[in-house]
Every structure is written in C-alpha cells, then in structure tokens.
Structure 1
C-alpha cells in the first residue's frame, strides 16, 4: 500500500516549482490560477526570490502547498491508499485525496498563514528542537516550567520540537540539556506554532474552515492531532482546526500507517525531510520522492 506524505514549513528553497512550470502545461495553468487567487505573483518569489523572501509565512506556506499539490496533480501514477501531511502539509494531503478543491485548499492555506503571522506578532514566542531524549522526559520537563512551553512536533524517536514563550522555551532548553539532551536548539522561526499561543489563529481559521465545502476523500488522511485515519468530513474539519494549537504527532502517524499496511512512503513536495523521518521511525520502511 502506498502512503503519500506532504512536507510542511521549512522545506522551501529558491527556484522551487520552476522546472514544473517550464515543463508542464498543466502545472503552468495551476500556478497561474494560484497567482490570480492570491492576488500577487507568488511564482516570482518561488522561482527567483531570496531565501529571506521565501521565509515570510504568507509566502512560505502557499509556496510549499503549491509545489506539493502541483507535483501530485501532474504525476501520471498518483494513486494513494492513504495520505498524511506534516502541519501545513495536511492541507496538501487533503487536496490530493479529494477532500478539498485546489482553490479552497489554497485559500485556506493563505488564510492560515496570515492568521498565524498575526498570532506571532501578538506574543513574542519561539520553538526549539530537542534531540536525544525520550518523549516522556521532554513532556515532563515542559510541565515543570511556569510559563507556556509544550511539545509541538513529535518528528521521530529522539527528535521532538517544543514551542512556547521565549522565556518558557529558554528555561525548558536549560533543563533539557541538564537532563541529558544531545541538543536543545532554539529555531529561527517566527512564533510558537502548535502551542496554545496560536489560539487567535485557530479561532480565525475555524471560521474559514466552517465556511468551506469538504468532500468525502478517496482514501483516509492520517491527521496530525491524533495520528488516526479519517474519512468523515466533520472529523477532518475539526482536526484541521485543532491542529494549530495541538502537537503534530508525526511519529505516531507513520507508525499507524505502517500498522495499517503501508509498504511504501512517497514524499510529494519540496525536499526530502519526511523520507528521513520515516527511515528513523522504521528502518525497514521504504521511502522515496514522487516520480
């Protein structure tokens, strides 16, 4: 069984999607449609923007979404048995499995990016990558801190990202290093994604999601919030709303896909980060990029 997986923020690179645009009429059509929907030529930034320009949340999220979805739509053998996406990648997954239209998916991603940017500006906050500790140790230390700091991304065994106020994350990093973490490294991100500090963004995105039509997908999506497969659109929508303030359970999602029969993981989008995580979760799993 084929599991298609879709990357999130951080996978962007200058020139992303340019070859797709140049080599495929269908890709060109989708990219131009995206420029129209967004009201600016995002393709200019994707194809020739600087690294700094591509890091802006309102550009990064639609860019990665577009690269991933266009790749899937022009692929001749795209036949998923199950899909999953890391954070933002969940929207790409939901367009490619038919739960969302391309247009609605892109609009929601743009609204999500804007809402997250606003939430980041309301409260200075950050994230940190923690390596070499059991999840339970990280969870317990986060609970001990008298400020907002929570597990945000369960990426693979021994790699967990925490998220919260600058003070909360700094205090947690000190305690985590003292507890034996190989690294507890503050990340260059704009805010505390997947933490309670994203509540203003969650409320804004909820209103947009409730107004959007979702269709029954062709295959299950393993969602970040609970790592469980979903086909029911009511459940999918609620999980998508809750995702902004809840951790990304990527390790558990991959483990559940393997348990449910996934034999091949195909990463669809820029970069190869998720393939690496899949191999760390299960050394025997087959992982590759979309052909």
Structure 2
C-alpha cells in the first residue's frame, strides 16, 4: 500500500462557493445544522453569498473547518491516512481527522480562536516571494519587532510584526515580490501573546485523545500521537511560526509517497511540490473529487 499523508490548508485558501456540492453528502446536513447552532450563523449562507464576510478571519476559519471536516468524514469512510498535517488553522482539521477531539469541540475551539485573532489589532503581515535568504535572516535578527511567521518553502515566507518593522524588512530585503496581507493582526508572532493567553484556558478545557495516526504540528514537525504533546503544540501555535517547509521535508523521511490536500485551493500541494518534487500529489476540493466506491 502507498503510504499517504493528508494535509489541510488554512486561511487564505477560502473561495466563494466552496462546499456548494457538499450539501448533498450523507451527514453533511447534520454537520451544517450543528455548526449553525454552535456559531450562531450559517456556514452555507456565507460560503455561497457573502464574499466580504468569508474573507474576514471571524468567519473564514470556522467555514474552512466545517467544509474540510465534511470532506474528511466522506474520505474516512473509504480510506485512512498514514500521517496528517495542517497549515495554521488546517492543523485543527488534521487533529480532527486523527481522532484527537470531537468535531463539535474542534469547532468551538476554532470559533474562539477566530474571535481572538479577528479582534487582534496593530500588527501587519507580508509575504515575501523569491527573496535573499541570508539578507532576510540578517534583517530579522536585527529587528525584534518582526519575526518569520510562516516558513512555507525555500522561495516563500510570511513575516509578522509591527507595521513599521514589517515595512522596514520589505524595504531592505531583495525579493521578486513583497505582498502585504489583508489581516488584522501580527498572527504567528509574540504579538499574539495576549490572545494566546486567553485562548489557553479554552484549549485546556477540551479533552484530547491519543491520535489514530501521527500528526506533524506547525511548531514541531516531528510526528507524534501523544495527546498531551499535541495539545501543548497547539497552545504554542498562535505565537509560534508555521514550519511548513520542514513539514514538507519530513514527509518522505516518514515513508510518505503520496500527499492528498483536502480543502479548497491547491496551496499546500504547490508548496510541497517545490520542496519535495518526487511525491505523488492529489487534491480533494469538492465532493466530485472524492474517490468512487
């Protein structure tokens, strides 16, 4: 059997109309109804009709969790992964797929996470593409107000910090493209410490189980199934860097031959291809792309 990893995208992969064909899947109506009870608003309505809300952290994160987890349920009925990982928010769907927590608990965690991140203010994030690695490392070392938030691949990173510090790095580091991100705060940086401290109590209240399959976490890309370790890693995630390049490199090292990205878009398979070009890559974005009987 081909050893397969499932990976889950996070914020930025959403698109209007996502999940439109999931409504007809068995159990999806129940999940959408349950989500409306927990969230107080309709995932289906926002995904179909409200692009402005869908692009706002408060709504984006729960919508992605619900859509991706419904795809997970449909896929788990037919096959099982050998390893899972998710990018930022995607780590929550990875943990759900691995049986670490109940679906409703996961959605409540994502809801609170989204509320805290949406209310964060005063920070800035920017993506750098085709940059000078040495120059970036030196500039970050010289400025305590900006950090590497997402190490996505050798050619793409995201920096996070105060607006002044982020703009200074963008001006100093040679890059093919430097793109400010439309987010409210300095996510995945020490500037999220207040939000992370408040979130820690919410996370502590949720029971984690031993994972069914190993998980590669954002802050620690070594595989583990240990419930305590997985919760501790998730507690560090809001202020820690997303080490996606290292997660990509760890896949073949753990015997993975095939990677399935579950959720809208193809960001993660694109990043993995740049880091590990010899892996089989597949995307499941819609019900139509789920394997047949």
128, 131, 150: which one aligns with 1:130: 128
Structure 1 consecutive aligned stretches of length 4 or more whose deviation exceeds 3 Å: 134-137
CA contact (8 A) 1:108 1:209 kept: yes
CA contact (8 A) 2:32 2:42 kept: no
1:1-291 paired onto structure 2 within 5 Å: 1-21=3-23, 23-49=24-50, 51-75=51-75, 76-118=77-119, 120-121=120-121, 124-133=122-131, 135-145=133-143, 147-177=144-174, 181-290=175-284, 291=290
CA contact (8 A) 2:132 2:173 kept: no
CA contact (8 A) 1:95 1:102 kept: yes
Alpha-carbon distance in structure 2 between the residues aligned to 1:57 and 1:195: 16
Which structure carries more helix by proportion?
1
Alpha-carbon distance in structure 2 between the residues aligned to 1:228 and 1:287: 21
Alpha-carbon distance in structure 2 between the residues aligned to 1:134 and 1:79: 40
Alpha-carbon distance in structure 1 between the residues aligned to 2:187 and 2:139: 19
Query: Aligned-residue CA RMSD in angstroms?
Result: 1.3
Unaligned residue ranges in structure 2 (runs of 5+): 285-289
- TM-score normalised by L of structure 2: 0.93
- TM-score normalised by L of structure 1: 0.93
Alpha-carbon distance in structure 2 between the residues aligned to 1:185 and 1:110: 27
Shift of 1:135: 4.3
Alpha-carbon distance in structure 1 between the residues aligned to 2:123 and 2:133: 22
Deviations 1:56-96 (A, max 9, x none): 11100001111110001012423010000000000000001
Shift of 1:3: 0.2
Shift of 1:15: 1.2
Secondary structure of the corresponding residue to residue 212 of structure 1: coil
Shift of 1:47: 2.0
Deviations 1:21-76 (A, max 9, x none): 1x213111111111111122222111222x21111111000011111100010124
